[in-house]
Amino acid sequence: MAKDIVKIVLIGAGNRGRGVFGQYALDNPHRAQFVAVVEPDNEKRNSFAAEHKIQESGKYKTTEEFFKKNGKIADAVIIATLETERLNIILEAINKNYDILVEKPLGCSIAEIIKITDAATCFKGIFAVCHQMRYMAGYAAIKSLLSSGRFGKIIAMQHSENLSYHHMAHSFVRGLFNNDSMTPMILAKSCHDMDIMRYLIGKRPLKISSFGSLNYFKKENAPKGAPDFCLQGCPAYKDCPYDVQKIYFQEKTDSAYIRQMGVIKNNDQLFQALLNNQFGRCVFKCDNNVVDHQVVQIEFEDGITASFQMAGHNFYERRITKISLTNGEIYFDFNEGMIKACTFSPISEDVFKPAGMEGSHMGGDKAIMDAFVDAIATGERSRIITPVEMSLDSHLMAFAAEKARLNNIVIDVKEFESQCRANI
Ligand SMILES: NC(=O)c1ccc[n+]([C@@H]2O[C@H](COP(=O)([O-])OP(=O)(O)OC[C@H]3O[C@@H](n4cnc5c(N)ncnc54)[C@H](O)[C@@H]3O)[C@@H](O)[C@H]2O)c1
């Protein structure tokens, strides 16, 4: 019998935990309810608990405390910590038999990710990786066009992730994902892209090469006289697109940027925070070392080739995907929200905008939560289209690309996986 309301524990009440998964339950109280929260930061924990009417007994500072104290108190856990905090939390959640939705990437090292995927593969509960792009209406439509057979067999794919200049600066220069001591860019940002290529092509990757570097966000490009923080009176602030007043105080500022700074209630508090937090730094004087542009070339099974480009210097934030097939072409641009699907015989040209591409990640965040909650409520596992085996391939592609870039070599993915497994 279907459950009425799926009960969930949130682990990590930061930007994604609070703003995406928490918001889903607030918007859909008839479908999902958070009954406990695990979060070390007092303000975030208390504020999440207040928003979700979680009692004192449902607030935990650490996962050790949470897992030690309880049997199973909910249907599921959502793990929205940073990727540095994954392996033990996942293993404990599996051990307690919680259905699990976990943020991507699954971990910081390939060894960790292999351990997680191996444990999750044997797990009988639901284990969903938050590759929400697979659920996004645009890619769901492309997947069904590919499955229709009308376009023939895939020959090649071009895919790109074009980050807006402010997203690049916020997340990968100043922000949480700016240094490969945690994760390289290709994993932190583009594991979604590796995943969507793997998913749409539907074959395993065989060989990978890659080039790229950190070209621009470096000390030598700082304007003359620029202080360490924008708000310390930078002489270049008028012309600098990265000036914090231009990025963080606009009506269109992404609320995710602000949530990553903590619980910020108004612009005065935001201004005070930016005087000395990491997001207030001059973009040319940060501790960043991840690339600001990278290309990856992949050969998949059946001789299918794919190329991927990530670039951090763009006005429009958008992914662009183009697939060449034996009987047609499929093209998708996030910015237009439009798919163009053409066949050679009979000659046809369809241009359409799939419905439901509103909201964060163009509707993907809501769609993956709908699927996760439905799968738990009804027991219908087919709603989960992000099985962990395929996620392993996406993560392997990212690590292989990074190794290829750093060593200027071509990586054989099967060999790479065997070597990684041998080193565990
Ligand atoms: N799916 C996507 O599109 C997408 C988008 C952005 C970020 N992410 C991923 O989501 C994850 C979270 O990112 P974020 O932007 O929300 O970061 P964040 O820093 O805002 O949130 C992480 C939270 O986890 C808390 N935390 C740390 N250790 C913990 C522990 N042991 N137990 C419980 N909570 C703990 C932190 O205090 C913080 O509040 C990252 O792995 C990131 O790569 C995914």
> Using CA positions, which residue lies closest to atom 18 of ligand 1?
14
- Alpha carbon 249 to its chain centroid, in Å, reads 24
Q: Which is the closest atom of ligand 1 to the Cα of 177?
A: 43
Q: Is residue 268 predicted with pLDDT exceeding 90?
A: yes
Q: Is residue 282 predicted with pLDDT exceeding 80?
A: yes
pLDDT of residue 205: 97
Give residue 82 CA to ligand 1 midpoint distance, Å: 4
Give residue 33 CA to ligand 1 midpoint distance, Å: 20
User: Which one of 9, 10, 11, 16 would you pick to mutate in the ligand 1 pocket, going by the greatest count of ligand atoms within 8 A of its CB?
Assistant: 16
Mean pLDDT of 251-279: 97
pLDDT digits (tens, 9 = 90+) for 6-42: 999 999 999 999 999 999 999 999 999 999 999 999 9
Strand partners, 332: 321, 339
pLDDT digits (tens, 9 = 90+) for 372-422: 999 999 999 999 998 788 899 999 999 999 999 999 999 999 999 999 999
Q: Is residue 71 predicted with pLDDT exceeding 90?
A: no
Q: Is residue 153 predicted with pLDDT exceeding 90?
A: yes
**Domain assignments of the chain as residue spans, ordered by start:** 6-130, 134-217+288-422, 219-280
pLDDT of residue 390: 84
pLDDT digits (tens, 9 = 90+) for 2-16: 778 999 999 999 999
Q: How far apart are alpha carbons 149 and 169 in whole angstroms?
A: 42
Assess contact for 47 and 37: CB atoms under 8 A.
no
CATH code assigned to 6-130: 3.40.50.720
Give residue 328 CA to ligand 1 midpoint distance, Å: 40
Question: What residue type is 243 in one-letter code?
Answer: D
Mean pLDDT of 181-194: 97
Q: How far apart are alpha carbons 153 and 203 in whole angstroms?
A: 12
Q: Which is the closest atom of ligand 1 to the Cα of 131?
A: 1
User: Which one of 11, 15, 106, 130 would you pick to mutate in the ligand 1 pocket, going by the greatest count of ligand atoms within 8 A of its CB?
Assistant: 15
Q: How far apart are alpha carbons 256 and 106 in whole angstroms?
A: 20
Pocket of ligand 1 (CB under 6 A): 11-17, 38-41, 44, 63, 80-83, 85, 103-104, 130, 132, 176, 188, 260, 361
User: Of the CATH numbers 3.30.360.10, 2.60.120.260, 3.40.50.1820, 3.30.300.20, which one belongs to the domain with range 134-217+288-422?
Assistant: 3.30.360.10
Q: Is residue 54 predicted with pLDDT exceeding 90?
A: yes
Give residue 141 CA to ligand 1 midpoint distance, Å: 29
Q: Is residue 357 predicted with pLDDT exceeding 80?
A: yes
> Using CA positions, which residue lies closest to atom 34 of ligand 1?
12
pLDDT of residue 80: 98
Instruction: Give percent of the chain above pLDDT 70.
Output: 100
pLDDT of residue 1: 58
β-strand pairing of 76-79 with 6-11: parallel
Q: Which is the closest atom of ligand 1 to the Cα of 81?
A: 24
Mean pLDDT score across all residues of the chain: 96
